Structure 1
């Protein structure tokens, strides 16, 4: 019986229809309104039957002394052949002034159970719902295969729709090199908030730059180093 348990559990988790990307490790600089304040390390790793996609962002220099800001985002789950299936997600933002955490599990194909800021929630999920970390891997895969860029994302005890618009091609110079990129933007009715992402086909559509504008503040991440593993 115990040998059947991993298989039965896997069948309960939603299959994403997502081909497993090549494992990688990447480093990014993080700036706010043009001033570099931190770094982000991103990695995708596999075991024989599972995956871990993690991003760790830390303030550096004076910003680290003043805020102690860290952000950990991690998605883990199963790898069956070339397909990934989500299982567990955590988003933990910690500083000297706050400690905010969203953590949940895909308990079956249509259900997510978790906690946001110590409050429990259970929500129903549409087919192919992803977490915020896997949204990036799904976007990479769908751009490469010419698929629609529409998603249902579980976050903070809710299901949020994301739709990306293609804005054409643009060449960027970064510390990691020069890349021709596909430029996409999250469609929104909020004129004060805008997220734009540049992805490089030569890097299997990995993110080269991303900007998020919110009420006049612009946060930007830019690729510094990238390697497949």
Structure 2
């Protein structure tokens, strides 16, 4: 009876372990940005304690784009703290900075933003920014949870609901993988995301605006 206790304890630990845990990774993608082939990378690294840095960088012959979010992992919730969205296309540069002040329950934006997009916007528990939607989708698809969120980004707060479109196939590092395909459409923009069980980052992301592909990422490797 005593010899069987370690196995029983392991079974209990596995049963009570969280379905999703934040872990560092670096993912390399083949990309198309503004109609031109590009290289892209998504990375997640620990900053300090429960704080994490989450970054997407894309570059090609036209220019580069970098989106960075600092967030706090609170159990299964991700709380944005700050963000930077910097783009350079040919000779034009733009940078927007976001601050999420949870003590005051408000978000503000500075840099190259219009006056009516500077905030403040009232924060609510569970709010995400645009970058954190990727992590939330991977987490919630794996757990079978509803894909409904409140996005606080670019000076506004709006609901985001993704529809589960069922199973599809994607190619990752030359191998065909089964993925869950989810999508949302609002106004002139559509976002489609493919999530593969066991991968910490989307296997494919497609963003369209006015019916045209704006950004496409296809996973090459993750480490």
Q: TM-score range by the shorter chain?
A: 0.7 to 0.9
Q: Tell me, in whole angstroms, the C-alpha distance in 2 between the residues paired with 1:151 and 1:81.
A: 17
Distance 1:83 1:153, change over 3 A: closer
Q: What 5-or-longer segments of structure 1 have no aligned partner?
A: 1-17
| Contact residue 78 and residue 126 of structure 2 kept, 8 A | no
Distance 1:57 1:32, change over 3 A: closer
Q: CA RMSD in A?
A: 2.4
Query: In the alignment, which of 140, 152, 174 is matched to residue 154 of structure 1?
Result: 152
| Contact residue 108 and residue 121 of structure 2 kept, 8 A | yes
Q: Tell me, in whole angstroms, the C-alpha distance in 2 between the residues paired with 1:32 and 1:58.
A: 8
Distance 1:97 1:30, change over 3 A: same
* Aligned-pair CA distance for 1:115: 1.4
Q: Secondary structure at the match of 1:132?
A: coil
Map of 1:86 onto structure 2: 80
1:55 matched to 2:53: no
Q: What 5-or-longer segments of structure 2 have no aligned partner?
A: 1-18
Structure 2 counterparts to residues 114-125 of structure 1, below 5 A? 114-115=109-110, 117-118=112-113, 119=115, 120-125=118-123
Map of 1:21 onto structure 2: 22
Q: Tell me, in whole angstroms, the C-alpha distance in 1 between the residues paired with 2:174 and 2:193.
A: 16
| Contact residue 20 and residue 83 of structure 1 kept, 8 A | no
Structure 2 counterparts to residues 37-76 of structure 1, below 5 A? 37-49=37-49, 50-59=51-60, 64=61, 67=62, 69-76=63-70
Q: Tell me, in whole angstroms, the C-alpha distance in 2 between the residues paired with 1:84 and 1:149.
A: 15
* Aligned-pair CA distance for 1:37: 1.7
Q: Which protein has the larger Cα radius of gyration, Structure 1 or Structure 2?
A: 2
Structure 2 counterparts to residues 125-144 of structure 1, below 5 A? 125-144=123-142
Q: Secondary structure at the match of 1:207?
A: coil
| Contact residue 197 and residue 210 of structure 1 kept, 8 A | yes
TM-score (norm 2): 0.79
- Runs of 4+ in structure 1 displaced over 4 angstroms? 79-84
Larger relative CO (CA 8 A, sep 6+): 1 or 2? 1
Distance 1:121 1:82, change over 3 A: closer
Equivalent pairs counted in the alignment come to 199
Distance 1:90 1:179, change over 3 A: same
